[in-house]
Amino acid sequence: MRRAVILGSLLGAMTMAATVQAAEAKCETFGSLPDGSHVDAVVLDSGHGVRVRVIAYGASLQEVVAPDRSGKGANILLGYATLDDYLKKPQYFGATVGRYANRIAKGRFTLDGHEYSVPVNDGPNSLHGGTKGFDKVLWTIGAVKNGADGASVTLTYVSPDGDMGYPGKLTATAIYTLDARNRLTIEYRATTDKPTVVNLTNHAYWNLAGEGSGSVMAQKLTIPAETFLPIDKTSIPLGEFKPVAGTPFDFRQGKPIGRDIRTNDSQLLNGRGYDHDFVIARDVAKEPRVVAKVEDPASGRIMTLKSTMPGLQFYSGNFLDATSVGTGGQVYRQGDAFALEPQFHPDTPNQPAFGSARLAPGQEYRHVIVYEFGTEPAQAKH
């Protein structure tokens, strides 16, 4: 009996050790900037078929490999093979965007009685932090860890007071963690020395059939949102919380992305497809909640997305125009990917009804995003 107990304890310890070692992190070199600065990368491996590469430029996801229903892996994230491509034709591929993700109307907002101007880079509006947002700077790689909770890398960037017109010295942190259950978690944190506005998210473009494989219009999307934010012709929200019921924006029961995209709906015309914020809730959550689920019938891949933020920007790849060649050597065309960006609602600094994106000294901004990767078996034919 005692031998059995000891043997069981040893087997348990070995199993625990295997679990601890299942997710691993490895450092690599990805390239160099024109000024000679090295851009490093960290590869996170779950040990169960999912592998992720994070590069220091833009604190960006550069690759996400996930298995299909037969166990065959493919890169399901749009991106570039070389650093030069990221520099020559920025597309926000997998990047951390900020200080304020999404749009600020006319590049202006008022905070505590002071008006601030930020660069206009999207028609009349400011997009994703301006002309040199967080996606176009070199972040510092800090801790790289392996452990029972997964493999992780921590990146930091200090944005000086006045950077792109935003007030306050902002210290931002991005922590990427991949665990043995094939869950990729991104935790964004930020602190400031002056009142400012902050909205950080990841701008990953996904194609669950594999990057460069063609259209995502047949992939099934579910978004548990009762309302969305209609936009004007420059993609700024009109201020209305419009019910999705009876509109092409109703994804509550799940449907192929392309089912209603060619509907003669003024909102789809304004966005040239889907490029709208869905209202998941009115407040920030303490723990991540499900904000979307995507299923690819062909490969069986499933991605469930969770976030603590109240909004989710869904973008159907409307402006991919065959001028970018991806990691697999294929060009990316309109509708070849989708983006799901959890965040504060667009233009919140100018629209109090959307809540507040204000961050004050002594407070900490925190946003947690979780991508859960899995598969479903093929449907039996009758």
128 has catalytic annotation: no
Q: What Å distances lie between residue 283 and 117, 313, 343, CA to CA?
A: 27, 16, 11
Q: How far apart are CA 319 and CA 166, in angstroms?
A: 28
Residue pLDDT, tens place only, 145-159 = 998 889 999 999 999
pTM for the predicted model, two decimal places = 0.93
> Is pLDDT above 90 for 244?
yes
> Is pLDDT above 90 for 377?
no
Residue pLDDT, tens place only, 118-136 = 999 999 999 999 999 999 9
Q: How far apart are CA 119 and CA 108, in angstroms?
A: 9
Q: Which of 128, 341, 345, 367 is catalytic?
A: 341
pLDDT at 227: 98
Q: How far apart are CA 121 and CA 126, in angstroms?
A: 5
> Is pLDDT above 60 for 241?
yes
Residue 95 near residue 202, CB atoms below 8 Å: yes
341 has catalytic annotation: yes
Mean pLDDT of 197-223: 98
Domains of the chain: 23-375 (2.70.98.10)
Ramachandran assignment for 273, one of left (phi > 0), alpha (psi -120 to 50 degrees), beta (any other) = left
Q: Which of 128, 203, 276, 367 is catalytic?
A: 203
